[in-house]
């Protein structure tokens, strides 16, 4: 498994990471153990979860599956999204962060978090307050690196400026939706990340399965997948414009003796700033497929042709 630095930091992560959002909802504890152990065997070192994932069970499921192997991996989690029905336990305030990190450490059965990520911006809390609280966690040894997720480009730049001017620990990564079907970050976020040396951790790299190559426009292949059981994902991805792109991309891959999955993963691996591709899995065989799919070395001509297809 290829290892890359996370941005300009010294933290090394596997090119393919494991997204743990399915643990606790679509995958039970036995299934989690099977997926995690397969990922470890495949050389995956980055395991990405969040306090809210799996209806707040993912961190605990992951901890049980890792056991003594926790020390062998880069453990990433997030804070900021609501953890209670009333929406009081959320955000980026100092008060909440200090509570959230202790709860995550307990669920994860660990003394430290390798990458602690601000899950979503909190308009009610000054960004400097959030960064100063996170700085304290770094100084206490509870957190080793900081990342953000779903922050607009201007706020990422503001965070880096505040960190540098205030002598604080800055973010080393951004985790955002990015794929062949979702290229929005290329407008503002990726240039900002390149300027400030941040690494990108793309989520939804396979567009909830549309870029695996197994689905068809008529929906006959959705049974048992998130596209069949979760309306929000169906609304987000199942669109005529996406199907048109998927069919064109499948033809591009087929003509070159590759699969659509290989194209989707290898394209991300070739993009600037990408450090690790966060791909979820519900079965061990998906881990193996995702890891193998990054092996297509796309040429500049290939990349230009893909841009033309998607224009």
Instruction: Answer left, alpha or beta for residue 187, where phi above 0 means left and psi between -120 and 50 means alpha.
Output: alpha
d(CA 74, CA 14): 9
Going by C-alpha positions, the residue among 122, 177, 132 that lies closest to residue 155 is: 122
Which are the contacts of 92, defined by CB distance < 8 A and separation ≥ 6? 80, 118, 121, 122, 125, 127, 129, 130, 133
Instruction: Answer left, alpha or beta for residue 157, where phi above 0 means left and psi between -120 and 50 means alpha.
Output: alpha
Q: Is 145 a catalytic residue?
A: no
Going by C-alpha positions, the residue among 117, 114, 109 that lies closest to residue 149 is: 117
d(CA 214, CA 192): 35
Measured in whole angstroms, the distance separating CA 78 from the mean position of its chain's CA atoms is 11
Percent of residues in the chain assigned helix, strand, coil, to nearest 5: 50, 15, 35
Burial of 72 (0-12, 13-18, 19+ CB in 10 A): exposed
Q: Active-site positions? A: 53
């Amino acid at each position: 498994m290829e290892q890359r630095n996370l941005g300009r930091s010294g933290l090394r992560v596997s090119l393919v990471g494991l997204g743990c959002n399915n643990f606790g909802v679509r995958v039970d504890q036995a299934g989690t153990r099977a997926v995690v152990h397969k990922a470890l065997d495949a050389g995956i070192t980055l395991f990405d979860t969040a306090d809210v994932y799996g209806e707040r069970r993912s961190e605990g499921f992951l901890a049980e599956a890792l056991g003594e192997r926790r020390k062998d991996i880069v453990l990433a989690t997030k804070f900021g999204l609501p953890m209670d029905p009333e929406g009081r336990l959320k955000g980026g305030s100092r008060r909440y962060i200090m509570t959230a990190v202790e709860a995550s450490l307990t669920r994860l059965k660990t003394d430290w978090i390798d990458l602690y990520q601000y899950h979503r911006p909190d308009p009610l809390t000054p960004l400097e307050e959030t960064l100063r609280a996170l700085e304290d966690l770094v100084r206490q040894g509870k957190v080793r690196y900081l990342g953000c997720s779903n922050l607009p480009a201007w706020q990422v730049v503001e965070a880096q400026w505040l960190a540098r001017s205030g002598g604080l620990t800055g973010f080393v990564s951004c985790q955002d939706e990015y794929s062949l079907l979702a290229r929005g970050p290329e407008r503002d976020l990726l240039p900002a990340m390149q300027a400030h040396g941040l690494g990108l951790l793309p989520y939804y790299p396979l567009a909830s399965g549309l870029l695996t190559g197994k689905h068809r426009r008529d929906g006959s292949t959705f049974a048992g997948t998130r596209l069949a059981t979760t309306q929000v994902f169906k609304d987000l991805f199942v669109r005529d414009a996406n199907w048109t792109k998927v069919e064109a991309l499948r033809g591009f891959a087929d003509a070159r003796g590759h699969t659509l999955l290989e194209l989707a993963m290898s394209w991300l691996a070739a993009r600037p700033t990408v450090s690790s591709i966060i791909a979820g899995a519900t079965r061990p065989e998906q881990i193996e497929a995702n890891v193998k799919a990054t092996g297509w070395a796309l040429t500049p001509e290939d990349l230009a042709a893909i841009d033309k297809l998607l224009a």
